[in-house]
Amino acid sequence: MANSRSGESVVSRVARLLQCFDADHGELSAAELAERAGLSTSTTHRLASAMAEDGLLFRTGRGRFRIGLALWEAGQRGTRFQAFSQLALPFMEAIHVTLKQNVSLSILDESTAEIVYLERLTHRGAQEDLTKVALRQPALSVSAGLAMLAFSPASVQERILSMPWDPSALQSGVTEGHMRRRLAQARVDGYVHLPGVLVGSLAGLAAPILDAHRQVLGALAIVQTMADVNLKVQVPVLLSATRGLSGMVGNLPRD
C-alpha cells in the first residue's frame, strides 16, 4: 500500500476514517471526518470517495458519509465474534427471562484496556444501562472488564494496571491497591459485583467466560439499579450461564 509523505499507509488512514464513526456520530461530512481523523480535507475527500465507491462508506444525497453496507456484510461473514455471539445468545436469553434485567456479552481488547460489547438484550422494565453493541468502555470502570481482567494472565493485568487511568471513568477514590484487591476477590468468587457502575444509581454484576484452558474469551454481565440487587438470586443464575457457555466454546477459532 502506498504511503503518505508522513509514512502512514493507506490502510492506516482508512482505519482512522472508519474510527471516526460511533453511536453519536453516525453520519459525517468530509470536513468533519477530516477534523476527527486528523487528515487534510483533500486526503479525506479522496479516500472517503474511494471507500464509498467500494461500499465501505455510503454517501448520502447531501454528500455526507455513513458506514457502508459492504463493511457491515464483511463483519457478518463467519467471524469468531459472530460465532461467539450466536453461542452466547441462548444463555443470555435465559438470564434475561429469569432476572428480567439487561444482559450484555463483551470481550476485552487488551491493547487499549477497553471492553467491546458484542451483544445486548434489553428488558422493557429495566433501567437504561448506557451500553450499546460495539460501544467501548474502559475495562477498569465496569464489572465485565474487571471480571475478564481478573482471569487474564498476570502480564496482561500488570500492563493494563500500569496504563494511564481516566479518573472520570472510575469511582472516586479508587487506587491501584483497590483494583488489585477487587481482582483478587473476583478470582476467589468467580464474579464481580460493582456498585456505582456507569452512573451512581446502577450496579454491575459480571462473570467471565473461559475456555477449556481457562483462558478468558469474554464476559456476561447485567446492569441494574441498586434497589434491584439480589446477589443470592442473581449470582447463581449468572454463573450457571457463564459455566454453560464456557463448556461450549472449545471449537471457537482463536486469534
pLDDT per residue as tens digits for the range 58-115: 999 888 999 888 877 776 665 678 888 888 999 999 999 899 888 999 999 998 899 9
Would you place residue 176 in the very low, low, confident or very high pLDDT band (cuts 50, 70, 90)?
A: confident
**pLDDT score of 3:** 46
Model's pTM, two decimal places?
A: 0.74
**pLDDT score of 221:** 96
Task: Report the SS3 class of residue 165.
Answer: coil
Residue 33: pLDDT above 90?
yes
pLDDT cut 90: percent of the chain above it = 47
**Which cell numbers hold the place of 172?**
472516586
Would you place residue 236 in the very low, low, confident or very high pLDDT band (cuts 50, 70, 90)?
A: very high
Residue 151: pLDDT above 90?
yes
User: Who wins on pLDDT, 196 or 161?
Assistant: 161
Separation CA 135–CA 115 (nearest Å): 8
**pLDDT score of 86:** 87
Residue 129: pLDDT above 60?
no
User: Who wins on pLDDT, 172 or 71?
Assistant: 71
CATH code of the region 80-246: 3.30.450.40
Separation CA 95–CA 98 (nearest Å): 5
Residue 251: pLDDT above 70?
no
Would you place residue 172 in the very low, low, confident or very high pLDDT band (cuts 50, 70, 90)?
A: low
CATH code of the region 10-74: 1.10.10.10
Within the chain, which residue ranges are assigned CATH 1.10.10.10?
10-74
Query: What average pLDDT does this structure show over 228-253?
Result: 87
Exposed, middle or buried: residue 207 (CB in 10 Å: 0-12, 13-18, 19+)? Answer: buried
Nearest Cα neighbor of 34 from 54, 48, 51 is 48
Would you place residue 253 in the very low, low, confident or very high pLDDT band (cuts 50, 70, 90)?
A: low
User: Who wins on pLDDT, 225 or 6?
Assistant: 225
**pLDDT score of 10:** 85
Query: What average pLDDT does this structure show over 180-200?
Result: 88
* Backbone phi, psi, residue 28, to 5°: -135, 150
Query: What average pLDDT does this structure show over 187-207?
Result: 87
**pLDDT score of 239:** 95
**pLDDT score of 2:** 47
**pLDDT score of 77:** 64
Within the chain, which residue ranges are assigned CATH 3.30.450.40?
80-246
Separation CA 205–CA 151 (nearest Å): 15
**pLDDT score of 1:** 40
- Residue type at position 156: V
pLDDT cut 70: percent of the chain above it = 84
